[in-house]
Structure 1
Amino acid sequence: MDSGSKRPAAGVRRVVAGSGLALALAFALAGPAWAGDAATANVTPAAATDEAIAPAVAPDTQALVAHYSVRDARGERSLILVRAADRIEYRQPGEPAELWRQTPDGIARLELFATEKRSIAWAPGDLRTTGRMPQWEQLASPIHPQLREKLQRDGSAKALGLSAERYRGESAEGQPIALQWLAAEGLPAYYRTGLAKPKTGDTGAYELKLVKLERVPAAEAFTATGDYRETDYADLGDMELDPFAAAYLKRNGHAH
């Protein structure tokens, strides 16, 4: 039910979404990347201005914050992944932030709309009923965890001063794939599907590059939701007079 009240960040929930990182758990957070082997990138050395931090394993009080640049047919944009032991958040410009949380009943999701200061909360039961319940391992990285199993190991590399494993292969569509993987962090440093220098209008090209990696106190790393008005997904069908709820249902093609 629409609480209309302010809830702390701990009460959050959510997962990733489709094409080109449209963070809206139609689920395929980094676009083709989430599809498994539809988006990949060749591995290139990080620029001198890129940053990295250690150690690889952070205490529960800290969150790992990975900053990525994404390039595909839609252009270039940023993607931020925030990951702690029991929470994961994805942020990208122009899209609602996606906040996922582990609960005793499964995974919960919270969509955060910064402009409206509204949020939509999906309980684990909502995600299961709509066929949108992800696996925690899928959320932990913008690249599907099974992708590496389909690629060939191709040596080692350095990314942001960290040791990375290099992989190459081909997607189901016959597109070349390149991946640099940070095993200790469980994250891609570089991922590309398609040619290294795609032609204009090449819709199959997708590139994901890690540009900064840091560890931040968990209390500061995630989006603060204290001033958001939270609405349960299950209550949206009874809120046809609420402009925000009506627009959300129309935009996401939901039918209650």
Structure 2
Amino acid sequence: MVASRVAEHGIDPAAIGGELWTRRRANESLCFAGANLIPLRGGAGDLNAFADKAMSSVRRCSSLVGRAELVLPMWQRLEPVWGPARDVRAHQPLMALNTAPSCPTDPAVRPVRMEELDAYLVAAIDMFIGEVGIDPRLGDGGRGYRRRVAGLIAAGRAWARFERGEVVYKAEVGSQSPAVGQIQGVWVHPERRGCGLGTAGTASVAAAVVGAGRIASLYVNSFNTVARATYARIGFTEIASFATVLLD
């Protein structure tokens, strides 16, 4: 996510939605502080310093996310002040694919059109509530979430299979750098689960990412054995472990 914003907008905080912190050179010590707090590089001293800086002002972020070996030590420093967390997901396998999928794709999965926004939002909201545990419409009636989803559609990064005007499969390339496209928001209609739509649909999105010259990546909760098996069938392999600390 951070790499995609910097690649597109540079390092201006207003343009990338947050600040980049470093104690030395950016290739050794780096943290993104915005709606998410994302430690990117550094040792124990850097993580403690980033945590202290975050605690020195009013908390702006709703979560910590990133590689587990960076997020979890940083959370230990933050927890006495910011805790308790609403949820700590300590092991989320980060998976990647840099070749064509090893299973069939779904030719009916395609980029969503802007006139399909309302139908797509129904699925996107259901996915968000199921994954994050809160309704994205809270606070502003859903205007901000609608804008975000509309932006993904406009960029050609929201994918779905429609049947009779209803979304039965969806996913997004939520973040995209010149090298990597991160797939997120994978969802299958409850009445169509177990039919293979998730496997073939995600294979289609991954094939589009790889076909554009990028590595397809995603991360998944360790306890979601069904999703992990699905991604393995597509050809994704585990390359690292992410962690997420949900605060709000």
Going by fraction, where is helix more abundant, 1 or 2?
2
The TM-score, its normalising length taken from structure 2, stands at: 0.25
Going by fraction, where is strand more abundant, 1 or 2?
1
The TM-score, its normalising length taken from structure 1, stands at: 0.25
